Amino acid sequence: MNYLKLKRFSHHLQVSFNRLNVICRSLYKLYAPDGLKHRKNVDQTKLPDSSILAMLIWQTEIGIESQRRFCKFFVGLSHSRFNRRARMLLPLIRCIRQAWNQEVKTAGEFLIIDSFPVPVCQPVCNYRVKIFRGVADIGYKATKKVYYYGFKVHAIVSDDGN
């Protein structure tokens, strides 16, 4: 991750990626099947599978939809090799999703998932505000067609209220 082409914000990006990489390393150890961990020539790869998994998550986190455009940020990363290895990790991603879905304790039959913004200040002050700098961010509420500075809450509620 130290070969980013973008040098201006590279420290901030490397810190956030390193945190994500640690999480993905533990997820890989927990959920990766043995066939994926011990496949042929896995010891000769320059980039471990956990880092590819972290890069896929990081790509969606920073909002880049095109993998070709995402690969241009890195010096030694081949677009075709990244795509091949990302497709190879799809069963692992499905396995992690299923495990997390089973961990959600549901007493009821249905789940309601919702998200809503929690603005910290009025929209006029979005770019000047100093409170929660580095933690809160500017978001867009599509239903009201307004930008806000603050947090976004994601909630899961079952039909019995838990």
pLDDT at 13: 63
Residue 73 pLDDT > 80, yes or no? no
Separation of alpha carbons 23 and 108, rounded Å: 30
Mean pLDDT of 106-125: 81
Counts for the chain of helices (H) and strands (E), in that order: 6, 3
Q: Which among 23-27, 72-76, 142-146 has the top mean pLDDT?
A: 23-27
Q: What is the pTM of this model?
A: 0.61
Q: How far apart are the first and last CA of the chain?
A: 41
Share of the chain above pLDDT 70, in %: 88
Q: Alpha-carbon distance 150 to 121, whole Å?
A: 7
Residue 34 clears pLDDT 50, i.e. is over it: yes
**pLDDT category of residue 1 using cuts at 50, 70 and 90:** very low
pLDDT at 5: 54
93 vs 129, more confident? 93
What is the reported pLDDT for 69?
Answer: 84
How open is the CA angle 1-37-46, to the nearest 5 degrees? 30
Comparing 59 with 104, the larger pLDDT belongs to 59
CB-facing half-sphere around the CA of 128: CA atoms within 13 A: 5
Task: Give the domain ranges of the chain.
Answer: 10-103, 111-158
What is the secondary structure of 9-31 as a DSSP string? Answer: THHHHHHHHHHHHHHHHHHHHHH
Give the β-pairing of 146-158 and 137-141.
antiparallel
Place of tokens 């929690």: 118
d(CA 131, CA 109): 41
Per-residue pLDDT of 53-64, as tens digits, reads 988 888 887 778
Instruction: Give residue 108's pLDDT.
Output: 67
Distance CA 10, CA 2 (A): 8
**What is residue 105's predicted lDDT score, i.e. its pLDDT?**
65
